[in-house]
Amino acid sequence: MKTNKFISGIVSALLIAANIPAALPANAAGQTYTLNGAGQHKGTGPDGYSYEIWAADTNQPSSMTLGDNGTFTTKWNCAGPSGNFLARRGIDMGSTKKFQDYGGITCDFDVSWSASSQGNSRLCIYGWTQNPLVEYYIVEDWKNWCPPNGTPGAGSPLGTVDLDGAKYYIYKENRNSYTIEGNKPFVQYFSVRSSGRTSGTISVSKHFEAWESKGLQMGKMYEVAFNVEGWESNGEANVKKNTITLGKGPEPEKPVEPVEPDANGYYFNTDFESGKSNWTGRGSASVSASTGYDGSKGIVASDRTEKWHGAAIELDENAFKAGETYSLGVMAMQNADSSATMKLSLQYNNGSGENYDEVATAKASKGQWVSVSNPTYTIPAGASDLLLYIETTDSLADIYVDNAFGAVSGTKPSVTPSTSTPVTIDPTPVTSKTDKIKIMPAGDSITFGMGDDGGYRKFLDYFLKEKGYTNVDFVGPEGSNSATFSYNGKTVTYDDNHAGYSGYTIKQHAGGWSNNSGLYETLKNKNAVKSADPDIILLIIGTNDMTANRSMNECEDDLHTLLDYMLGDMSSDGMIFLSTIPELSAFGGGDNTQKIANYNSLVKKVAQEYSSSGKHVTFADIHGCLNGTADLGDGIHPSKAGYEKMGKYWAGVIDEYISASSGPAVQPSTGIRGDTNSDGVVDSFDLIPLRKSILAVMAGSGKAAPNSDVNGDGDVSVADLVTLKQFLLGKISKFPDVVTTSTTTVPRITTTTTTTKPISQGQNLNAQIRQDMPTSVPSGNEQSNKCKVEKKTYNCKFTGGQKSCNVILPPNYNSSKQYPVMYVLHGIGGNEDSMLSGMGVQELLAGLISNGKAEEMIIVLPSQYTSKNGSQGGFGINQEVCAAYDNFLYDISDSLIPYIEANYPVKTGRENRAITGFSMGGREAIYIGLMRPDLFAYVGGACPAPGITPGSDMFMTHPGCMQESEMKFRDVGPEPNVFFITGGTNDSVVGTFPKQYSDILTRNGVDHVYQSIPGGGHGDNSVKPHLYTFFRYAFK
């Protein structure tokens, strides 16, 4: 989304009477404009259509070739952090008239295009108005996700409009960034088509009318253009037709013939034997194929976090008319609670907003199919945008649906349940540490163990045995049944069978190092999976695809082929752990960080797609357990220490998977806690819902059945399964007391994306802080003019340029003495000077040292904005700016810390470093602390801004640096001694986001302290209490 350029001057295009652009002197059609990275070309062509090609935050080439009558072709590559591109042609209007003065605006278009699987690309009508200042989009097609909220209808649309054969969702976004009038606040209006298209007529002015009917006022027209845009993507487009017409509306739409029911009276009668039909998830729910009534096929709405979340379908308003009566219904079932009330509802718009009406309800016992139908339901008068959906009134159980119908009034369902028919759900595999577990390590030379014989596999074998696994069988067509290595002064025997092949790519491609270097082809030709029948496949593949510069689209297709083959040849209860790949420094002659990050994001996406569709694929993060390139031995393959970390990681993943899948004995009991199926009894039937809950948390969905917190510690984990098993086996007679303390501490939970690690090195001080964190600074703890400040410049490896920082030296600073270092980060739009005054940094440092309450330390105030385009940043709050702040992670670790340690007498090591900040600085301090616990033993954040995890605020929708389930410390070092977050109850800028972060951390089992400042705002009355406590406990 283009927001960071300033267009000086306004050129008004002369329009002929027919409102077709007049021919103006300019470059000829066929002219190609090329950008080698960031830049811009713009003007007006001989056909009267303006043109522009523009790119930012990229060093990759892009081009645009003009055609006749508004047409053009373009190629772009802006893949990478914050890369942005657009090519467009249209009409400059000069901000002299409103859209109504032009008598109608339309665009006829026809485009063929393709784009990469990363980032976002879109086709749209684009432009600006002035007075009011509005940037507008009519989005017709997109790749991967569409603005502003990912999918059409997501977020909070202001309404819809039916135009040009489809429904469009209307949005308004408030922004503060660069505009055609300079850097200032403005608004964006969006119409987002419900399903994409690449040709047709766009009734542009009709969208403007729809916006104004929702109170979104348009100003005087600056421009209207057809736009091809990319964000962190690459692709190409051929705009074969782009006819923008002023002065008339679109051809009147032909009247739509009313939809007639079939011979049995049904407008639709869906049995789901051929798939989900048009049913989708409502709210957080996801809809997937499942078992239906009486062994047939159906759908299930899962991942429900609110009772109104469920399965939904849009009703065709050519069949279902407001004020008329129909027969509507579904068959539904839940298999978790002893009883639940199913409710069929209608969502509709009555012209003033969304409304909801009950169609029918039915009580459903556990496992019982019920008919939820009404043969004489009248759609409310004046209703439009009809959405029929199934929900519950008293349960969050998964909802199973079959035989959905809409028919003429009085029509009975084609199928009605006669008896209680439970859904058949595949049980979780029952395994234990003494059962035989067959593991197939599969992949390339990293799996083979290049650089250290046996690689991670020998360490995995060793650590599994240390965890008590006595019957592990490594399988695969390569290696041997037995090999040895020396570890901790002992000769250790391990199973050396595997499926790792040096130099292999996911699939065979021309240019590979041999004619047989595809993992898919090799395993298939050897019948490797079917003959070995593994319980678990550990799949690490893709490094050689990256060195061969294969596109993400190719890799995604190849991963699907490989996974589909594996799933087809392994047992139905097996599991594939699809992992990220390590860093890469030995190929390409430059920084491969972004390339690896793009591929690893693709791996996660593919794994989650399979998992969400019910296939046995789980995401794993080998990349996260390694310390970047520091754990590589030769720039490609891990060192022995790196392989050891990988072995420990896989052992933790497998142990959790097996532990969560173990089947305990049966013993009756009574109680409420542990009654995960809500039937009023705690018994062995509660084990399956609990195991499913734990696996859901491990997979990142975070959804758990009611009463799953068996041990009362405030979280759901394998520990709850162990407690329930002990209770059922009679080893304990009651559950532990519920933890009622007001702290946010919960046990550390290891998931499939992290590994077990030490809680901390040194003393964990969080418990002490909870008893000693005043909400205001006691008098006598601030002293002015006692510190010395030195401004420094250093070379930033990430940007290739220079950056500045301020170094605050403590009172009585002595260059012959060594000091620990604290990094304090500023808010958005600030710089290295922003925290020098007003927030108490210098005053508290001097006062607390003088009073003996804080260690002597050096404080560094950096400038966080880190962008390769050389910009120094600004107050714009958008994805581009936020990404530049996130890049500070690389600057502080690779450049700033080494500079400080080379130029000041400082103590080194994580135990001598702390990081905190305010607002955006608080967000980045927490983010950096989570990502690099190997660098910082003291982590804090005051009034941290949103964006670490996905969310929306007054400024934008934040995609998130990580998902909520990933908000935990990476396995590159011990957890910090202090993790301290402060938020004010009256913060009108970041609102409740600080507390939301705390809640997420609590759910993820991350030990931390949350401090709430009564009446605290977004300023020093929240920041100073935070620094007062953080300074006192740092470096203890």
Catalytic site positions = 135, 229
Asked whether 916 and 1027 are in contact (CB, 8 A), the reply is yes
Enumerate residues 6+ apart whose C-beta is below 8 A from 808: 787, 788, 789, 836, 841, 842, 845, 858, 859, 860, 861
Extract the tokens encoding 524. 């298939």
Extract the tokens encoding 180. 């055609």
Residue 982 identity: T
Residue with tokens 């470059």, as numbered in its chain: 27
Give CA angle at 525 (520, 531), nearest 5°. 100
Q: Single out the residue of 660, 557, 657, 662 nearest to residue 617, CA to CA.
A: 657
Asked whether 499 and 448 are in contact (CB, 8 A), the reply is no
Extract the tokens encoding 739. 């933890």
Extract the tokens encoding 43. 């003007």
Residue with tokens 């029911």, as numbered in its chain: 261
Is the bond into 132 cis (omega within 30 degrees of 0)? yes
First to last CA, the chain: 47
Q: HSE-up of 769 (CA within 13 Å, CB side)?
A: 32
Give phi and psi for 1016, each to the nearest 5: -65, 135
Cα–Cα distance for residue pair 766/939, rounded to 1 Å: 11
Cα–Cα distance for residue pair 486/463, rounded to 1 Å: 14
Cα–Cα distance for residue pair 13/46, rounded to 1 Å: 12
Residue with tokens 């009248």, as numbered in its chain: 378
Q: Single out the residue of 50, 58, 10 nearest to residue 33, CA to CA.
A: 50
Q: Strands 266-270 and 399-408, how do they pair?
A: antiparallel
Q: Which contiguous run of DSSP H or E holds residue 290?
A: strand 286-291
3-state SS, residue 468: coil
Asked whether 468 and 504 are in contact (CB, 8 A), the reply is no
Enumerate residues 6+ apart whose C-beta is below 8 A from 119: 78, 79, 83, 144, 230, 231, 232, 233
**DSSP letter string over 505-551?**
BSS--TT-SSSS-BHHHHHHHTTHHHHH--SEEEEE--HHHHHTT--
Give phi and psi for 286, each to the nearest 5: -115, 145
Extract the tokens encoding 104. 């109608």
Asked whether 191 and 140 are in contact (CB, 8 A), the reply is no
Radius of gyration of the chain (CA): 31
**DSSP letter string over 915-926?**
EEEBTHHHHHHH
Q: Which contiguous run of DSSP H or E holds residue 65?
A: strand 61-66
Give phi and psi for 482, each to the nearest 5: -150, 135
Cα–Cα distance for residue pair 555/542, rounded to 1 Å: 8
**DSSP letter string over 306-366?**
STT-EEEEE--TTTS-TT-EEEEEEEEE-SSSSEEEEEEEEEEE-SSSEEEEEEEEEEEET
Residue 226 identity: F
Give CA angle at 826 (824, 832), nearest 5°. 85
Using alpha carbons, list the distances in angstroms from residue 413 to 60, 265, 326, 328, 403: 60, 11, 12, 9, 8
Enumerate residues 6+ apart whose C-beta is below 8 A from 962: 930, 948, 949
